[in-house]
Amino acid sequence: MQLPLLALAMASFGIGTTEFVIMGLLPEVAADLGVSIPAAGLLVTGYALGVVVGAPIVAVITNSLPRKATLMGLASMFVLGNFLCAIAPDYWFLMAARVVTAFCHGAFFGIGAVVAANLVPANQRASAIALMFAGLTLANVLGVPLGTALGQAWGWRSTFWAVVAIGILAVSAIALWVPRDIPHSAGNILREFAVLKRPQVILTMLMSVLASASLFTVFTYIAPLLRDVTGLDAHTVTYVLLLFGVGITIGNILGGRLADWRLMPSLMASFIGLAIVMVAMVFTSAFVVAAIATVFVWGILVFAVVPPIQTRVVDAAVGAPNLASTLNQGAFNLGNAAGAWIGGAAITVGIGYAELPWVGAGLAVGALGLCMVSQALERRDGGLVALGDDAGETPCEEC
């Protein structure tokens, strides 16, 4: 089962690169298109909102389609969107192209996570999901720093051309390696939306929103923060982004292993650590070595929460795992959009780059609170899905 998971990871690598690399290229994009850095930061918000809007729409459209054909179509849409980004003549065309690219994002990760879980034994599901998301984390180890360096050397458009090539390779890998006989029960997609009435599903998705908002409030503006506050040059910023990517790769693997062991305790511990390290960033960002070390630890903790959250939403959404998994990707990206907007608004009203981690820490504390409420409800109800939940009466054939 390693080759199918590798194909999914390859596609997630390309998607992750195009989503995150824009942060490292904000100054170049802003200068080339004649807009401010906060305005360029809205390209992050636009992409994230595209995921939020696109996730339910694509889930409905693709519900009855075979999983392999759906994944290939979504990866092809990703290639088209990045091609449009590469040829964008102005800011608004680039914004529209980012939204087109984003439409495939939520559905691909949502469906891909369920497919990955179906390729392994039940006790390895979180690790399989983490392996698929390893492409996303590897994007931050290699894709973002290399894409940033490429964009700084040859212009930001060259980065998107490189992502187009990655996307073509991913489509080919899915075609060759992902099996056709993946279990899939289409069902009534509109009826499956009833899963959103379940408190545990809503709580988990809200955790996704706050976790992502905590990250993107700061990460959207990481390049100017490291340049203006820490005093690093553009070349060194690339290496710091590489180190951040190493951190989130470690965090993603660690989060998957811990979720297979004890999901909720490890998730709460990650949120506590995340809040602490973001408070520390306020005080370390002015010192080169301390700032770099803090960014590395931040990367570990911020992605340690991803596999357990994704696994929990699938577990809570008995009978509708594809829909819930896809919508949870929309929730993550709603947090991305909110975080990018919150960070930009804070800068606009005069808050410095160095103070942005205070906001991120507060959002992480909010996610911790939701996690505690979710566990308390689970104990009260005697399980993740409450007894008598009508949507839970349909067994999950795909999990």
Separation CA 231–CA 236 (nearest Å): 10
Max intra-chain CA distance, the chain: 60
What is the pLDDT at residue 300? 92
Separation CA 61–CA 63 (nearest Å): 6
Please tell me the least confidently modeled range out of 134-143, 298-307, 364-373. 134-143
What is the pLDDT at residue 386? 58
More confident residue, 289 or 120: 289
Residue at 399 is within a domain: no
Q: What average pLDDT does this structure show over 38-44?
A: 84
Highest mean pLDDT among 103-112, 196-205, 291-300, 374-383: 291-300
Q: What average pLDDT does this structure show over 156-170?
A: 93
Highest mean pLDDT among 49-58, 69-78, 186-195, 244-253: 69-78
Are 355 and 282 in contact by the 8 Å Cβ rule? The answer is: yes
What value does the mean pLDDT of the chain take?
84
Residue at 338 is within a domain: yes
pLDDT of 398 strictly over 50: no
Are 336 and 282 in contact by the 8 Å Cβ rule? The answer is: no
What is the pLDDT at residue 199? 86
Separation CA 316–CA 327 (nearest Å): 13
pLDDT of 69 strictly over 60: yes
**Confidence tier at 294 by pLDDT (50, 70, 90):** very high
More confident residue, 227 or 191: 227
Separation CA 332–CA 340 (nearest Å): 12
Record the tokens describing residue 224, joined without a space.
């100017």
pLDDT of 164 strictly over 70: yes
pLDDT tens digits, one per residue of 182-195? 766 655 666 677 77
Question: DSSP characters for 173-196?
Answer: HHHHHS-S--------HHHHGGGG
pLDDT of 130 strictly over 90: no
Q: What average pLDDT does this structure show over 322-329?
A: 75
Q: Assign 300 to helix, strand or coil.
A: helix
Taking phi over 0 as left and psi of -120 to 50 as alpha, with beta for the rest, 387 belongs to beta
Please tell me the least confidently modeled range out of 59-63, 104-108, 165-169, 346-350. 59-63
Alpha helices in the chain (DSSP H): 2-24, 26-33, 37-62, 67-86, 91-118, 125-138, 144-154, 156-177, 189-192, 199-219, 222-228, 234-261, 263-284, 288-304, 306-316, 321-348, 356-381
The CATH number given to whatever domain includes residue 229 is 1.20.1250.20
pLDDT of 359 strictly over 60: yes
Q: Say how many domains are in the chain.
A: 1
Residue at 397 is within a domain: no
What value does the CA radius of gyration of the chain take, rounded to a whole number of Å? 20
pTM above 0.75, yes or no: no
Amino acid making up residue 80 = L
**Domain residues for 153?**
2-385
Are 336 and 23 in contact by the 8 Å Cβ rule? The answer is: no
Residue at 278 is within a domain: yes
